[in-house]
Structure formats: C-alpha cells, structure tokens
Amino acid sequence: MSRSHDLFEAAQRHIPGGVNSPVRAFRGVGGDPVFFESASGPFAFDADGKRYIDYVGSWGPMILGHAHPEVLTAVRERLDKGLSFGAPTELETVIADKVCDLLPSVDMVRMVSSGTEATMSALRLARGYTGRDKIVKFEGCYHGHADSLLVKAGSGALTFGEPNSPGVPAALAELTITLRYNDIKQVRETFAQIGSEIACIIVEPVAGNMNCIPPVPGFLEGLREVCDQYGSVLIFDEVMTGFRVALGCAQGKFGITPDLTALGKVIGGGMPVGAFGGKKEIMSHLSPIGPVYQAGTLSGNPIAMAAGLKTLELISEPGFYDRLTAKVETLLKGLQERADAAGVPFSTNQAGGMFGLFFTADKVTNYEQATQCNQEHFKAFFHGMLERGVYLAPSAFEAGFVSIMHEDAHIQETLDAAAETFKAIAG
Ligand code: PMP
C-alpha cells in the first residue's frame, strides 16, 4: 500500500473526510487521494517520492510552476521582517497600484484572503450600492461557498433558487436567481420582468467550474448591456480566469468592462489571497469611506503580498501569455490526435492557460452538455494518467492548468501517457 493510503486513513480520524477542501478527497474518481510532499516547476512529488507532471497547479495559482526561485526569494526576504502586523504596509499599495495598472476597469481594489471572501464581499457591495437584494448567477458556475452563492440552478427564467447545501437559509436562497450559462435570451427575459430588483449579475467570464466552457459570442456583451439598461452591477468572478487567460484577464481578452471584479488564485502566487475591485464610484461605498462593511485580520498579509506581487511582475514579462497559450495548444492538439487514433470520443476547450477535456465528440458550450459526457471514460482516463505519472484534476467538472515551466518534453511525456491510456479505454 502507498504512503498516501496510510496518510489518508490517519487524516480521516480528525479531519472531516480527511481533507480540508472536499474535491481533494477523490470522491469524483474513486481511490485514495495523493498526498503531496513537495513540488518544483511542472512536477509534484507524492509522499512515496513518485513524480507527477502536475496539471492542477493548486487549482490555478501556480502559473509560474511550483517553487519558483524568484517568488521564494521574495517571500524569504519578507519573512524575517515579521509575519503579520494588522496595520498597513507599503507593499499593499504597490500591489494595488499594479492591479489597477493591469485592469483598466479597476480604480480601487481591496485585498482579502480567499476567492470566497472576494466574491462574497463584491456581492455585499453590489447589494449595498444598488439597495437591491436579488442576484443573478449561472448554472454550473462556482463562486466560492458564501451562502447566497451556494444555490442550485432552478429551471426556467423566473424559478427562484433552492439551497443546494443544508445550512443555507431558504429565505436567502430565494434571492438568488440561477440562469443558464451562455443563454443571453433567458437573461433578457428575466430582466424584462424583474430587472429593477436585481442588484447584480455575477459570472465566470470563462466558466471553469463545470470543466472549461468559454462564453459564446454575444453572451458577455449581452450581460453588459442588460446591466447598463437596468442599473445592475456586473461582477466578473475572475478568481480563476484572472491573470490565467490573459494578462488583462478575461475582461481584457473579450473586451468587456465589468463594474466589479473578483480575483484570487494567481494574484496570490500560491498564498491565501483574494481581491475585489472596480469602479471608484462603487468601491467608495466600502468601509471606512462608505457604509458597506468588510474587513480582515490577515487581509493584505505582507508575506502573501510579496508572493503575489512577484508573481504579477513575472507574468507581466512580454510574450508570457503567448508562450503559455502555445503550450496549452500543443497539449490539446496532441491529446485530440491520440484520442482520435484510439477511437475514443473526445473534445477540448481552451482559454489561454486553462483547458477542459470532455469525453464526448461534441464541442461543449453549456452545463447540460458538460454533465452528459462519459463519466466512466473520464475516471478511467484520470486513473490511467495518474498511474503513468500525470496529475489531472480529480473531477470531470474542473478546468486544467498549465504552467510556464511545462516544457515540450513534459508535454510529450504527457501525450505518450495519454496514447496508452486512450488505447486502454478503447479496449
Ligand atoms: N470563484 C471561482 C471562479 C473559483 O474558481 C473559486 C475556487 N475554485 C472561487 C471563487 C473560490 O475561491 P476560494 O476557493 O479561494 O475561496
């Protein structure tokens, strides 16, 4: 038995499910989760010392690869000066200036400690700013686990949400309207009926939590128009897409200006960081200059800011995203060729440095299609690749991530593993 197996047994004694975040438990694919010991560049090493080419990258943050020497140096330099002050530091201004520089839609930004805090706070701000309570989200989008956002899709434009987690009060869930991703017609119909009651639309501009589903042309444009027409706030949840699909994030890539943006993952370079920002007019409603309360003991933590700032500096180097995007293209083209050769129905999606793998012959553009892919093929592929030293997301509903340290040789090794695995699936 592997050491991961023993560690998982031990972990389950005092940690619910043995993990501190559910998807890590491998429930979607079965088997014991891999316990990691260390990671470097494109590789992660498990508790037995086995090497994996890592396409999870801590679920997105590790865009520079693991343990990047310059990021580690930036962190080490801050360490000796103290871990946390709960008082302002210059570094917070430097990173705020950098974020505002990279994102023209962001005049002001506040740092928090997770993506969940970022979206939750943006939501409160949108409600406080508009004086409205209802919000619109999309089926299959995940925005962290704040109560208002943990609401299952209702069918039909005006179906009010049902909580999909016990503990979310029904009275709150009723305020969350869940619509179909990439269906602008349904959004327009909903707003035509109750638009003046809706505080905001929150959307993943590329959906990354139902696998990877880019917006169809006109969807994001339509959301912008509808929000302008009804005075609702457009929130782009760029926790995953931010600095992942392009230096200017999804909003730059697609040329749509949101009112508020939630950030996380890459902006912290692997440390617990999130941020939300946007128009000065809206951000000025935030405490201490406005009435909407939001706070955090460890917000803007200097060590975390040092890691985030160095990461933002390195990804700003010219050509970074062209190189990253080309790596993903090579990977996806190679996987498609090998699936086709084995006769396994398969398709892919890509947005810059993130990708989706689907066990269907169709191009996937919505939630229903994503849920109808061949789950057994996915599980067999996941385990076949894991055995061969390639670590993919342990769920068919998660995006994959490539780092700038994934070189041609690593991609080739991945493709060789995939050729064998697809053949085994085809029988
Ligand atoms: N929004 C999106 C789009 C996400 O992908 C995630 C996490 N995967 C979150 C919010 C929540 O972030 P965190 O897990 O840091 O709370």
Distance CA 59, CA 138 (A): 21
Distance (angstroms) between ligand 1 centre and the Cα of 366 equals 20
Predicted local distance difference test score (pLDDT) of residue 150: 86
Tokens at 395, concatenated: 């769920």
For the cut 60, the answer to whether the pLDDT of residue 53 exceeds it is yes
CA distances from 114 to 111, 331, 407, 410 (A): 9, 30, 30, 31
- Residue 228 is a catalytic residue: no
> 217 and 234: one domain?
yes
Pocket mutation for ligand 1, best pick of 112, 113, 119 (most atoms within 8 Å of C-beta): 119
pLDDT score for 327: 98
Ligand 1 atom closest to residue 141's alpha carbon, by position in its atom list: 3
Residue 151: pLDDT over 90: no
User: Is the pLDDT at 158 greater than 50, yes or no?
Assistant: no
Helix 320-342 / helix 302-315 crossing angle, nearest 10 deg: 80
Ligand 1 binding pocket mutation candidate from 209, 251, 263 (most atoms within 8 A of CB): 209
Mutation pick for ligand 1 pocket among 24, 143, 276 (CB with most ligand atoms within 8 Å):
143
Q: Which CATH number characterizes residue 163's domain? A: 3.40.640.10
CATH, residue 43: 3.90.1150.10
69-103 residue pLDDT tens: 999 999 999 999 999 999 999 999 999 999 999 99
ipTM over 0.95: yes
Say what the pLDDT of residue 82 is: 97
CB crowding 29-55: b at 16 or more within 10 Å, else e: beebbbbbeebebbbbbbbeebebbbb
Q: Which atom of ligand 1 sits closest to the CA of residue 204?
A: 3
- Write down the mean pLDDT value for the chain: 95
If asked whether residues 32 and 17 sit together in one domain, one would say yes
* In a shared domain, residues 92 and 142: yes
**Who contacts 374 (Cβ-Cβ below 8 Å, separation ≥6)?**
345, 359, 360
Question: Final residue of a domain: which of 315, 331, 350?
Answer: 315
Q: What is the pLDDT of residue 165?
A: 81
Instruction: Choose one of 295, 315, 335: the last residue of a domain.
Output: 315
Protein residue with its CA nearest to atom 14 in ligand 1: 115
Q: How confident is the model at residue 282 (pLDDT cuts 50, 70, 90)?
A: very high
Please tell me whether residues 41 and 124 are part of one structural domain: no
Alpha carbon of 114 to ligand 1 centroid (Å): 7
Average pLDDT over residues 132-139: 96
- Note whether 348 and 246 are same-domain residues: no
Give me the domain span that covers residue 117: 69-315
Ligand 1 centroid to 166 CA: how many Å? 20
| φ, ψ dihedrals at 338, nearest 5° | -75, -35
In terms of domains, do 273 and 202 share one? yes
Angle, alpha carbons 294-242-93 (nearest 5°): 50
pLDDT band at 132 (very low <50, low <70, confident <90, very high): very high
Whether residue 269 is found in the same domain as residue 377 = no
* 253 is an active site residue: no
Does one domain contain both 104 and 26? no
The tokens of 285 are what? 């409603």
% pLDDT > 70, the chain: 97
Report whether pLDDT(50) > 60. yes
Measure 190 CA to ligand 1 centroid, in angstroms: 26
Q: Are residues 110 and 204 in the same domain?
A: yes
Distance 342 CA to ligand 1 centre (A): 35
CA 274 from centre of chain: 11
The 8 Å CB, 24+ separation contacts for 154-159 are 154/178, 157/186, 157/189, 157/190, 157/193, 158/190, 158/193, 158/194
**Interval 309-349: pLDDT, tens:** 999 999 999 999 999 999 999 999 999 999 999 999 999 99
Sheet holding 176-179, edge to edge: 108-112, 274-278, 260-263, 233-238, 198-203, 134-138, 176-179
Task: Compute CA distances 342 → 77, 318, 413, 423, whole Å.
Answer: 51, 39, 18, 5
Q: What count of other Cβ atoms lies within 10 Å of the Cβ of residue 224? A: 15
Question: Which band of pLDDT confidence, cut at 50, 70 and 90, is reported for residue 166?
Answer: confident
**Ligand 1 site residues, Cβ closer than 6 angstroms:** 59, 114-116, 119, 142-144, 204, 208-209, 237, 239-240, 264, 274
Is pLDDT at 137 greater than 80 in this prediction? Answer: yes
Where is the domain boundary, 268, 287, 315? 315
CB 412 within 8 A of CB 404: no
Instruction: Report the SS3 class of residue 37.
Output: strand
Domain match, 342 and 268 both: no
- For the cut 50, the answer to whether the pLDDT of residue 380 exceeds it is yes
Same domain for 338 and 386, yes or no, is yes
Structure tokens at 173: 């869930």
Strands 400-401 vs 198-203: parallel, antiparallel or unpaired: unpaired
pLDDT at 305 over 80: yes
Question: Average pLDDT, stretch 4-14?
Answer: 97
Distance 202 CA to ligand 1 centre (A): 13
Q: What angle do CA 44, 349, 247 make, to 5 degrees?
A: 70
Phi-psi label, residue 237: left if phi above 0, alpha if psi -120 to 50, beta otherwise: beta
pLDDT, residue 295, reads: 98
Residue 255 has pLDDT above 60, yes or no: yes
Q: How many structural domains does the chain have?
A: 2
Atom of ligand 1 nearest to the CA of 144: 11
Mean pLDDT of 131-138: 97
Active site residue 333: no
Round the CA-based radius of gyration of the chain to a whole number and report it: 21
Position 154 confidence tier, pLDDT thresholds 50, 70, 90:
very low
* Residue of 404, 424, 406, 405 lying closest to 414 (CA atoms): 406
Same domain as 176, residue 280: yes
Q: What is the DSSP letter of 18?
A: G
Catalytic residue among 52, 55, 129, 142: 142
219 neighbors 182 (Cβ within 8 angstroms): yes
